[in-house]
Structure 1
């Protein structure tokens, strides 16, 4: 039974995506979580880009705009998406 549980855990963990943001990465935020109304059918659900200023916890970041303005709250990594230029 223990071997079966280990195999199931390995199978499940293969598909788990880790969140890894570093200071200086560009990210996009979800519009709905930032307080805007739900985007329309043809609008993008993401807004930004923002710059990761500090890492507060394992999956929490503080952001700033490209102009240098600090965002008023911290963001959980599940609401962020890496932005590649």
Structure 2
């Protein structure tokens, strides 16, 4: 019983601190560079974010389709966990 109560308290505290991130159509965002997309020649001092990209479609809550400034749409949608606002 105590274990269950502790888990509920911990979950409530975590959920209280989580800040949901929502983007609208036309917002500009930058995308986090993962190990799969990172250029191996740049090393550890390379950029952590790439972009900017424009949000063109909201597939589901927190799932977005992006387009680069040249008009090319990215091949698959991206989760909001890997995006952050880009301020011009």
TM-score (norm 1): 0.78
The answer on 1:83 being equivalent to 2:83 is no
State the number of aligned residues.
Answer: 82
The answer on 1:51 being equivalent to 2:63 is no
Residue 61 (structure 1) aligned to one of 64, 74, 77: 64
* Equivalent-residue separation in structure 2 for 1:36 and 1:77 (angstroms): 19
**How big is the shift at 1:31?**
1.6
RMSD between aligned alpha carbons?
Answer: 2.3
Unaligned 5+ segments in structure 1 are none
2:30 maps to 28
* Equivalent-residue separation in structure 2 for 1:22 and 1:15 (angstroms): 22
The answer on 1:14 being equivalent to 2:16 is yes
Unaligned 5+ segments in structure 2 are none
Higher strand share goes to which structure?
1
* Cα deviations by residue, 1:43-73 (Å, 9 ceiling, x for unpaired): 2210000000000000100000111111111
1:41 maps to 44
Over 6 Å off, 4+ runs: none
